[in-house]
Structure 1
Amino acid sequence: MDIAFLAVGGLLTVYIAFSAFGFVRNSSEHYSNFILGVVVMSGLLAVRNLCDERIAGAVRPMFWPRLAFAAASLIVATLAMGYVRLNAVALETTQPFFSDTDMIVGWMMMFSILALTLIHWGLLLTSIIAISIVYFFFGYQIDNPLFQTPRYDTGFIMNYIGLGTNQGFYYLAQVAADSVYFLIIYAAILLGIGMLDMVLEVGKLTGRKVPGGAAGPAIIGSGIVASIMGQAVSNVVLTGRLTIPMMKKFGYSGTMAGSIEATASTAGQIMPPVMGLAAFIIASFLNLPYIDVALSGMYPGLLYLTGVTIAVIVYANRNRLPKLVAKVDTAIIYRLTPTFVISFGVVLWLLLGYRSPAIAGLAGIVLALVLCLFQGRYRPTLAKLYEAIEEGLTLVAILSLLLVAVGPLGQIMLTTNLSGRLGIMLIQYLPDSQILMLLGAMAVSLVLGMGLPTPVAYIIVALALVPFMQQIGIPPLQAHFFVFYFAVFSTLTPPVAVSVLAAAKLADASFLGTAKDSMKIALTTFVIPFAFVYSPELMTFPSFSWAVIPAIAEVLYIQWALSTASYGYLFRHLSGLERLGFAVASLAAFVGMTVDPVWTWVSLGVFILLAVLAWATRGQGKVATS
C-alpha cells in the first residue's frame, strides 16, 4: 500500500509541478486529473490505515465491513473520476444535457467522494454536505418561502454538484491544486528536517529570561510550527507532547498547560503565510492575490500572539512561576536556522513578488532539501526524509479531499441563494445596531464552527454571514476576516473545542478545566476582530500609518485589563471587587473602541486609579483564590 500510495502521490506531484509552469492548458482536464489523483490517494490511505490497524493487532469492531467499505469507495471513486477525466471536455460542452451513462457516473462520483470524506473527516462534516445536496434536490418542497427553492432539473443539479467539471467538487479544487499543494509538502519537509526541535529550543532560550518561561516553547514553538502547518489540532498533538510535560514540570497546572498549548497552536491558523488554508479561500472569494490577503492578517495575527503572551505573563506572576532552567541546545539553532530562514525567506520573497504559491512552495522544497545536507550532525537521515515526504503527501491528500468535498456545499449555498436568505433572516431578527449585529454574527460563527475543520467552518460562516455583514456596511475583506477569526476560535470554545480536547488528553487534565483556562486566555483575543472592523488600518500591513499605533495600543490595553481581571493580579493579588473594577475598565474600553471614544478615556482613568491602588498596597492583604 505504501508503494502504491507513493507512486500515485509522486505522479500527481510531478504533474502539479508541470502545471505550475504552464504546461497544462485545459482546465477541465487539469482539475479532473487532480481530483482523480486525490481520490485515489485518499482511498489508498483509507485501506492502508486499516491494514496498519490489522498489523498492529489493534483491530476495532467491524474491521472487515470497514475494509470492504474503504476498498469499494476507492474502486468506485477511481472508476467514476476516471470516466469524468476521459470525457471532461465533452461533459463541459454538453452540460447540463448529460446522457444516462453520464448521470450514473455522476451518482457514483458523488457517493464515493462522500464515502471517502466520511472515512477521513467523520460523520459531522459528511452529514452537512449530504444535507446540503438533499436540500438542492428537494428544497422546493419546503413550505417556508424564505428557504424554498425552485424545482431544479436533475441534470442541472448534477452539473452543479460536479459532473459539469467546473462547479461543485471543482469549486475549490483550484485552491487545492494551484495554491496549497506544494506549501503543505514544504511544511512537512521542514518538520522532517528538524524545524520542530529548532523552534522549541528557541522557545527555551526565550523562556530563560521571563517568569513562567516554560510556556515559551509552547507559545513560540507552537506558534511558528502552526503558522506553517496551519492546522490547530494536528499542531497540538505534534508539539504538545513535548511542551505540555515541560510546562507541568515547572509549575503550570495540567489545565493551564493544555490551554496554553491549544491557544498557541490555534495561532497558526490566523498567522501568515498559510492561515489554515483560509487565506487561499478568502483570496478566491474576493478575487485578490493570495499574498495581499495573507499580509492583511499580519497585525491581527501578531496581536493574537501578544494577547496569549500577556495572559500567560499575568498568570505566571500571580503564581510566582520560575524562569525556565532547562538546558538549551544552541548548536541545533545555529545549524538549522539557515535552512529555515533561507528557504522560508525565498518562499516569502516569491509570494511578495506575486509569484504563484505553487512555484513558491516548490522553490521552498528544493531549497530545504538542499540546505539540510549542510546541517552537520543534525542532517536528516534518508529514513527521516522519506517519512517527511510521505507525511507531506498524506497531508496534501487529506486536505485536498476536504476542499474537494466541501465544494458542493459552497456551490449550493450560492446557486440557491441560501446565503443571501440567511442574511435577510439575521437582519430581521437582530437589532438595528452594527455592534449588536456583529455580536450576533460572532455567536453564529462560533456555533456553526463547532467540531468542523477550520476551512469548512470558515466557508460555511462566510457564505452564510458575509453577505449580511456587507449589507450593514462592513467592507468585504474585514467581513471575511471577522467570520474567519471566530470560526478559528470555535476550536477553543465549548462544548466541542477540538483543540482543547486534544490538549487536555495530552495534559492528563479535565476537558472542562482546560476549556475554562483556554477561554480565559482566548478572551484577550476576542477583541481583535472587532478592532480591525472599527479600525481598518489594522489590516493595511505592510503599509504603515500613524493611525495604526493608537489602534494597536487600544487592543493591547484591553488585553492587559482583561488578563488582570481574569487572573486577579497586578503587582499583587487582587480582591474580587478589584477584579470586577478591571473587568469594567476593559468593557468600557471595548465600548470606546466600537461605539464612543469617550469611554476609552473613562476606562483608562479607572485602570490607572486601580493600578495605583494596587501598587500602593502591594504586599498587603490575603492571597486571593484563582
Structure 2
Amino acid sequence: MSSDEPVGHLRSFSGFAGWLIGGLAVAWIAFHIVTAGVGMLPNYQQRAVHLGGALFFVFLLYQGSPRFPKLQLLLVDLPCACACLVLLGYVFVNYDAIVMTNWFINEAVEKVFGVTLFILLLEAVRRTLGWLFVGLILSFCVYAYFGPYFPGPLGHRGLSLDRMIYVFYMGSNGILGTLMGISATVVALFLILGALLNTSGAGDTFIRIAMRLGGRMRGGSGMVAVIGSAFMGMINGSTVANVASTGVLTIPLMRRLGFNRNLAGSVEAVASTGGQIMPPIMGPGAFLMAELLGIGYLDVAKAALVPSLMFFTALLLGVYLMARRYNLEALPTELIPTRREAYNLWAMTNLLVPIAVLLFFILQRYTIQLAVFWSIMSLLAMMITSALFWRSPLETNFSDPAKAKTDFDTREDIPPRKERDNAPFVRLAGVTKSTYRGLYQAAVSVVYIAMIIAAAQIMVSVINLTGLAVTFSQIILSVGGHYVILSLILTMLLAIILGMGMPTPAAYAVGAAVLAPPLLELGFDRLPAHLFLYFFASASAITPPVAAGIFAAIAISGGSFLGTARYALTLACSLFLMPFLFILNPELTLAGNPIDVLIAVLTAFVGIAFLSVAAVGHLWGSMSLLSRLLVGIGAIVMAVPGLLTNIIGITVITAGLAAHRFGPSGKRRVQKCGATGDRGSKSL
C-alpha cells in the first residue's frame, strides 16, 4: 500500500461485495484521472467529489471497532458512508448558489448538515489517523471559539458557532478550501502515478540500477538503499510510503550483508526522507509550494537542486564511512546485476517514458494535472506494450545471493510453441489485473492522505481566521529580536513540531500558513523561506519523538526506536544544516552571479562532506571527541559562503584532521570490533 502509514486494520471484502467496492474505488480514482485530462470541474464540485469519496471509503474500509464487525458495517458504517455522499453531494448540486452568497442559502438544513459532516469527519480522522489528530482539530476549534478568553497575544475576538459552521461547511476557507483543492487536483494524481509505477515493476528496476551503480562500493547494500529510495521517494512524496515500498527489498538485503538492524533501518528512513527534496519531481509537496507561491515548478526544482545533491552526497559518504567503521563489505558479485539486467531496454523504457513525458509537459509549461495525466497514460501504454511484446524477467530475491540471478529471456527457457503463442494474451490479462490492483492501492492511498489534508485544512483555516499566523510572527520576532539565527532555530523547531506525524505536503502546508509570514517579515526571500519550511517538514518524519519514518523502518528491520533514530540523526545531520545555509545565502539556490554561485556551492559541498565525517566519527580509524568537534565546527563554518569563513573553516578542519592523524587515535587504523563483518555488525 502506498500510503503514509502502514494500515493493519483495513477490511477485506470478497465475492460480489469485494468486486463492487473495488469497482467503486477504481471508478473514483478514474474520476481524478479523467478530469485531469479533459478539464477539472469547478473548484467546490471537484473537491466535493474528492472528499466525499474519501469519507465514503473510510467508513467502508476502516473498522471503527473490532467488536461485532459485520453488525457494525451494516448498522453504522454503511449509513455513515452514504450520509457523507449526501452531505458533500448537497454542496456539489448547489455549487452555483453557494459561491454567489456569503452566508447560508437554507440555514436550518445547512447547519444540521455542517454539524453532521464535522462529526463524521472527526470519526473518519479517528479511524485513519488516531485520537491525536482528533485532539488537534478540537483544540484548534476550541481556540477559535474561546479566543476572547486567551491571555496576551494569543487572544482574539473569537468566532461564533454559526460562523464556524458556515465557514467549515460552505466557506472558501473551510473544509473545501485551498488545501483540499490541491489534494484533489495534484496530490491525488501523484499518488495514483506512484501506485501504478509500483505495480508496473518500477521499484524493482530502480533497485537493479542502484545495485549496479553502488553495489561494488564498501557498504554496497546501503548504497543501493540510498540510490533506490532517492529514485522512488521523489515520485511518491511520502517518507513512510517510500520506506514501506522500497524498504521491504533494501532492509533485508542490508541485514544479510552485515548491517545491524538499527543501521539498516536508519539508512532506509533517511534516504526515503531525502527523496522528497530531490528534483526533478520532488513529490507532490513541491507542486504544492509552486501553487502557494504562484511560481513555476521549475523554479522550485532549480532552487532545491544544489541542497538535495549536497544532502545525498553527505548521506552516501556517511554510509560509506559507516561501512569502513564496521568493516561492511560490498555486494557479492552474484548479487550485482549484469549491465543487460540492470539496463534492460524494455524495463528502462517502461520506467523512463512516463517520467520523461511528465517532465516534457512540465517544461512546456502545461498544467501539472495535464502533465501527470499524460504520464499515467504513457505508463499504461508501456505496460500493455511490454505485456504484448516482452517476456518479463523473473523476480530477483535480493535478500538471498543463492537465488539472485534473474533469467532475462534466455533461449533455453522459451516455452513450447502453443504456450508461447498464448503468452502475450496471458500477460495482457496479468497487466489488467496489476493495473486494477494499482488503482485500488491508489484509492487506499488517496483516502488516507485526504484525511490528513482534511485535518490540516481545518487547522490552517483556524490559523487564517483567528490571526494565529500573525501571533506566531510576533512571538518569533520578539524572541529572536535582533538575532536572526535564533529566530531561524525557533522557526525550525516549530516547523518540525507542526509536521510530526503528517506527510510532507500537509506538514509543509501547515508550516507555511503559520511560519512563512515571520520569515518574510525578517526580510528573507519568498522561495528560500518556503524551501526552508519544506525541508524541515520533510525532516519531521525522522525526528523524535513521533518520527513516523523511523517507526515504518523498524517495522521491517526489527530494530529499536532509539537506536535507529540515533543513527538516522547522525546520517541526516546535513539535512538540519542546509536550510540555514540556503536561506542565509540564496546563491545555494542558484540565484545570483554565476561565479559567486560556483564558489558558494563548492565550499558548501566541502563543508557538508566534512560534517558527515565528524558526525560518523571515522576517518583512518576512530576519531577522538576533540578531532570530531574541530572538524564539525570547521565544516559548519566552511559551509557558509564567504572568503573569511572559508579560510577559518579550512584552518579548523585541518587542525582537527591533524589532531586525529597524529594523535593517539590516529594510530588505530582499524577498529578492533570491526575486524570481521559479524563482529562489526554486533558492535552497532
Q: TM-score, normalised by structure 2?
A: 0.83
1:258-287 superposed Cα distances (whole Å, 9 cap, x missing partner): 110110111122223553532233223222
Q: Distance in 1 between matches of 2:659 and 2:158?
A: 69
Q: How has the CA–CA distance of structure 1 residues 61 and 295 changed in structure 2, closer, same or farther, with 3 Å as cutoff?
A: farther
Q: 2:598 aligned with 1:549, yes or no?
A: yes
Aligned length: 611
**1:367 — aligned with what?**
378
**Partner letter of residue 555 of structure 1?**
A
Q: Does the C-alpha gap of structure 1 residues 323 and 11 become closer, same or farther in structure 2, counting only changes over 3 Å?
A: closer
Residues 336-351 of structure 1 mapped to structure 2, 5 A cutoff: 336-351=347-362
For the residues of structure 2 that align with 1:540 and 1:22, how far apart are their CA atoms?
A: 36
* Structure 1 unaligned regions, length at least 5: 51-58
Equivalent residues of 1:4, 1:44 under 8 A apart: no
1:474 corresponds to which residue? 524
Between 1:130-139 and 1:338-347, the stretch displaced more is 130-139
Residue 69 of structure 1, CA deviation = 5.2
Of the three residues 452, 474, 485, the one matched with 1:402 is 452
Q: Structure 1 420/249 Cα, relative in aligned 2: closer, same or farther at 3 Å?
A: same
Give the corresponding residue for 2:647.
Answer: 601
- The amino acid across from 1:181 in the alignment is A
Q: Give the share of equivalent positions with the same residue, in percent.
A: 25
Q: Does 2:145 align with 1:137?
A: yes
TM-fit CA distance, 1:623: 5.2
Q: Which residue of 2 aligns with 1:56?
A: none
RMSD of aligned alpha carbons: 2.7
Point out the more displaced range, 495-504 or 374-383: 374-383
Shift of 1:529: 0.5
The residue type equivalent to 2:647 in the other structure is: W
Q: Which amino acid aligns with 1:135?
A: Y
- Given candidates 35, 43, 49, the residue that maps to 2:59 is 43
Question: Are 1:620 and 2:667 matched, yes or no?
Answer: yes
- CA deviations 1:301-349 (Å, max 9, x no partner) are 2222222111111212222321111423443641311111111101111
Paired residue for 2:88?
A: 81
Give the equivalent residue in structure 2 for 1:30.
Answer: 46
Q: Is the 8 A contact 2:179 2:509 kept in 1?
A: no
What displacement does 1:222 show? 1.2
Question: Match for 1:199 among 188, 202, 206?
Answer: 206
Which moves more between the two structures, 63-72 or 199-208? 63-72
User: CA-to-partner distance for each residue in 1:532-575, whole Å, 9 max, x for gaps?
Assistant: 1122133248x993333222223322222222222222233323
Equivalent residue of 1:164, what SS? coil
Secondary structure in structure 2 of the residue aligned to 1:297: helix
Match of 1:92 in 2: 99
| 2:572 is the alignment partner of 1:572 | no
* Letter in structure 2 aligned against 1:441: T
- Is the CA contact (8 Å cut-off) linking 1:183 and 1:358 kept in structure 2? no
The answer to whether residue 403 in structure 2 is matched with residue 393 in structure 1 is no
Conserved in 2, the CA contact under 8 Å of 1:160 and 1:408?
no
Specify the alignment match of 1:585 in structure 2: 634
Q: Which residue of 2 aligns with 1:377?
A: 391
The aligned counterpart of 1:125 is: 133
| Structure 2 residues not aligned, in runs of 5+ | 1-16, 393-426, 674-683
Contact 2:22 2:440 survives alignment (8 Å):
yes
2:26–2:439 contact (8 Å) kept in structure 1: no
Q: TM-score, length-normalised on structure 1?
A: 0.90
1:18 deviation in Å? 4.7
Query: Which 10-residue stretch deviates more, 23-32 or 531-540?
Result: 23-32
For 2:667, the aligned partner's letter is: Q
Post-superposition offset of 1:472:
1.0
Q: Distance in 1 between matches of 2:360 and 2:643?
A: 39
Residue 494 of structure 1 and its aligned partner are, at CA, apart by 1.6
- Report the alpha carbon displacement of residue 619 of structure 1 after superposing the two structures with TM: 7.4
With over 3 angstroms needed to count, the CA separation of the structure-2 counterparts of 1:620 and 1:336, relative to structure 1, is same
Specify the alignment match of 1:331 in structure 2: 341
Deviations 1:56-88 (Å, cap 9, x if unpaired)? xxx946757865654454233222112222222
Deviations 1:157-188 (A, max 9, x none): 22321323664333322212222332221111
SS of 1:584's equivalent in the other structure is helix
1:33, distance to aligned residue in structure 2 (A): 3.1
Which residue in the other structure is 2:116 paired with?
Answer: 108
Counterpart residue type for residue 50 of structure 2: F
User: Quick check: 1:458–1:483 contact (8 Å CA) kept in 2?
Assistant: yes
Please give the secondary structure, in 2, of the residue aligned with 1:490.
helix
